[in-house]
Amino acid sequence: EFARSMSTALDSSKLKITKTTSPKAKLPNEQLVFGKSFTDHMLTIEWTAESGWGTPEIKPYGNFSLDPSSCVFHYAFELFEGLKAYKDKKGEIRMFRPDKNMERMNKSAARICLPTFESEELIKLIGELLKVDQGFIPDTRGYSLYLRPTLIGTTAGLGVSSPDRALLFVIASPVGPYYKTGFKAVKLEATDYATRAWPGGVGDNKLGANYAPCIKPQLEAASRGYQQNLWLFGPEKNVTEVGTMNFFAVFKDASGKKELVTAPLDGTILEGVTRDSILQLARERLDPAEWTISERYCTINEISSKSKSGELVEAFGAGTAAVVSPIKEIGYRDSTIDVPLLPGEQFGPLTKQVADWIAEIQYGVVESEWSRVV
């Protein structure tokens, strides 16, 4: 602890920039595939237990050279973030709530004994990367630059212990709208034979180790014709998340009162920035005479019975990639739970409303402190 407190803090003013001598050709918007092409540069910062954070560097995107015994390869000392940068109408670069991602990244780092850092310094450094690679940020609505801050342990040696070397890097990928032709409501399969996260576990941290085990249930859902799986938890079968998104449902009772429901932050869900944004906007902007906004447990049986009684009026996933993803059907054991959509549409009214609210902030159409100009 003493050694760490004496070590050098992350300092954006030390940034060293080396520009590429072989710039890549930029892909036309319609050829962008999520996370497949990257900008010309990346940000890297090394850390050691003896001296703390080293010189931040922006340099040409390229391979790393790591010892095969590096702890990241053996014991999953890895965590990451996902956030987006946008170009507004005036050509200004904006980031959506980067402070929330930095807070979550530091929480993930602390949990697996990787070094924490000064959030505002990393935000400034990411801002510099965005300026260097600004030609890669699409300026069309719906398009953005996906940022992937990552932190790995690089200590060489097979002993399982707290890493004394680490590498923080940020890469960036230009991306298009999640649904190229507007919303496309998805079919989910409820997974009750595998558990993504549990109280006291690490599912509320963005550790790479949480993601690899989720692919198999997703493939199984896909083999039965579902686009994603719906994660349930515990003997009560609480609905927790949709693939890698937070889950929201809208209920409407006989008197016309509506409830927006999402799972509480009890360690069994990732604390999504989109989730938090939706809750805050809903509390600010929806009429409290008509709406209750609830962070509470909701079981798959409640969803099923409210679907049958007509009280389930909408359901959607929420995350950085798609913002919101409307749900039209949930397969659970031998039954099918139907979720209504607006007639002739691929979404319900609140799903659309929430997507618009957030996009207007992200693209700077509506001024908000959530949208930070670089």
Distance, CA of 21 to CA of 285 (rounded, Å): 49
Q: Is 245 in the site for ligand PMP (CB under 6 A)?
A: yes
Cα 242 to Cα 171, 232, 269, 315, distances in angstroms: 26, 9, 10, 10
DSSP secondary structure string, 153-205? E--BSS--S--SEEEEEEEEEEE--SSTTS---EEEEEE-SS-S--TTSSTTS
Distance, CA of 147 to CA of 157 (rounded, Å): 30
Q: Is 229 in the site for ligand PMP (CB under 6 A)?
A: no
> Least distance in Å: CB of 246 to ligand PMP?
5
Report the relative pairing of strands 186-191 and 323-332 from DSSP bridges: parallel
Q: How large is the greatest C-alpha to C-alpha distance in the chain, in angstroms? A: 66
Q: Which is nearer to ligand PMP, 58 or 355 (CB)?
A: 355
Q: Is 189 in the site for ligand PMP (CB under 6 A)?
A: no
Nearest-Å Rg of the Cα atoms of the chain is 22
Q: Among the candidate windows 22-30, 64-72, 237-245, 331-339, which touches ligand PMP by CB under 6 A?
A: 237-245
Task: Identify the residue among 106, 155, 320, 325 touching ligand PMP (CB under 6 A).
Answer: 320
Q: Is 246 in the site for ligand PMP (CB under 6 A)?
A: yes
Q: Among the candidate windows 11-19, 47-55, 155-163, 269-277, which touches ligand PMP by CB under 6 A?
A: 269-277
Q: Which is nearer to ligand PMP, 217 or 319 (CB)?
A: 319
Q: Is 273 in the site for ligand PMP (CB under 6 A)?
A: yes
Q: Which is nearer to ligand PMP, 121 or 204 (CB)?
A: 204
Q: Which is nearer to ligand PMP, 246 or 371 (CB)?
A: 246
CB atoms within 10 A of CB 193: 7
> Least distance in Å: CB of 318 to ligand PMP?
6
Q: Is 319 in the site for ligand PMP (CB under 6 A)?
A: yes
> Least distance in Å: CB of 245 to ligand PMP?
5
Q: Is 82 in the site for ligand PMP (CB under 6 A)?
A: yes
> Least distance in Å: CB of 270 to ligand PMP?
4
Q: Tokens 């929330």 correspond to what residue?
A: 100
Q: Which of 21, 52, 41 is nearest to 126 (CA)?
A: 41
Q: With helix as H, strand as E and coil as C, how does 53-80 read? A: ECCCEEEECCCCCCCCCEHHHHHCCEEE
Distance, CA of 312 to CA of 320 (rounded, Å): 25
Contact 100, 273 (CB under 8 A): yes
> Least distance in Å: CB of 154 to ligand PMP?
24
Task: Identify the residue among 98, 163, 174, 272 touching ligand PMP (CB under 6 A).
Answer: 272
Q: Which is nearer to ligand PMP, 58 or 123 (CB)?
A: 123
**Given the rule CB under 6 A, which residues bind ligand PMP?**
82, 241, 244-246, 270, 272-275, 319-320
